[in-house]
Structure 1
Amino acid sequence: MRAGRALRQIVIARLRSQIPGVPVVDKPTEKTPMPYIVLGPSYWNDASVECIEAREVTLQIDAFDKRTNKGALEDLTDDISAALNGWADEVALTMHPLRVTLVRVMDDPDGVSAHGLVSVEAMVEG
């Protein structure tokens, strides 16, 4: 399995174990109850050196709740940040600990939801 896909899977597993009672999905459906966490877009830059293939991966974790619950969404983005910042699963993937680089809470353009965003970076090999 490639590093980007492996990283998404271990992040989902970590969030499910650290934030019980909140669904964590790779793609929500209309039936996914709010609040929920979903893995959003990702991108990577080549960070290879002479003898090691590596990537600097940025992964966006999104959280959604009803528009009236922005305070609860702030708490949820704090929980996501606490679960991921400084964490690594070096058994599943050769990686450095994750680093939270951005957290935002805003109204979603759908007019119904509030949207939280947590951006993390990780250096991964392979």
Structure 2
Amino acid sequence: MADASFELIKAMMDALKASSAVTAFVGNRVYDRVPEKQNGTPNVPFPYISLGPDTMIPETFDCFEAEEITIQWDIWSSGNGEAYGTAQCRKICDAVKRALHNVELSLPSHGLVSLSLELRRILDDPNPAINHGVMQFTGQVDLLD
């Protein structure tokens, strides 16, 4: 059986890269793992989106199995103008919400019942020049054999 969280992450990433509202800000810079320099700092220009942690809670019913999968996307911005404050980060978060919240995504091996935004936060980054948005989406997935 294929991993449902992997399939959901891939479908979400594809949806983000297909959204003109998202790509207007980040282009194709939506990463599972952000390319890094040798010192461990990101080796990509701002703004960009990266995959954060995910959790899975198994659910077993009489006639089927399901998973509640929560996936975090991190939004990063830095620079001048709107990127200096939180405006650009907030606008990217809004574009991500429109690309993923309550949308129907197709999974190759499983059934996505729902996908909804559970949380959006704008955090103070240890580097004051960087704006960091956190978005957590929860998907209800029926496991199919």
Give TM-score, length-normalised by structure 2: 0.80
Larger Rg: 2
**For the Cα contact (< 8 Å) 1:85–1:97, is it kept in 2?**
no
Judge which range, 64-73 or 6-15, deviates more: 64-73
**For the Cα contact (< 8 Å) 1:102–1:118, is it kept in 2?**
yes
2:88 corresponds to: 72
Query: Residue 62 of structure 1: SS of its match in structure 2?
Result: strand
2:135 corresponds to: 118
Question: How far off its partner does 1:16 sit?
Answer: 0.5
Residue type of the partner of 2:18?
Answer: S
Q: Find the aligned partners of 2:106 and 2:85 in 1 and give their Cα distance.
A: 36
| Residue 47 (str. 1) matches residue 59 (str. 2) | yes
| Residue 9 (str. 1) matches residue 10 (str. 2) | yes
Judge which range, 87-96 or 57-66, deviates more: 87-96
1:37 corresponds to: 49
Q: Find the aligned partners of 1:74 and 1:123 in 2 and give their Cα distance.
A: 26
Query: Residue 47 of structure 1: SS of its match in structure 2?
Result: strand
Residue type of the partner of 1:85?
Answer: H
What do residues 23-80 of structure 1 show as CA deviations (whole Å, max 9, x unaligned)?
A: 1010112222110011100001112211211100111111001171410100000110
User: In the TM superposition, what are the counterparts of 1:77-92 in structure 2 within 5 Å?
Assistant: 77-92=93-108
Deviating above 6 A after TM superposition, structure 1's stretches of 4 or more consecutive aligned residues are none
Query: Residue 102 of structure 2: SS of its match in structure 1?
Result: coil
Q: Find the aligned partners of 1:109 and 1:50 in 2 and give their Cα distance.
A: 48
Residue type of the partner of 1:10?
Answer: A
Judge which range, 105-114 or 81-90, deviates more: 105-114
Give TM-score, length-normalised by structure 1: 0.91
| Residue 95 (str. 1) matches residue 118 (str. 2) | no
Query: Residue 10 of structure 1: SS of its match in structure 2?
Result: helix
Residue type of the partner of 2:86?
Answer: K
**For the Cα contact (< 8 Å) 2:30–2:49, is it kept in 1?**
yes
**For the Cα contact (< 8 Å) 2:75–2:132, is it kept in 1?**
yes
Question: How far off its partner does 1:108 sit?
Answer: 1.1
**For the Cα contact (< 8 Å) 2:31–2:49, is it kept in 1?**
yes
Gaps spanning 5+ residues in structure 1: where? none
Question: How far off its partner does 1:90 sit?
Answer: 3.0
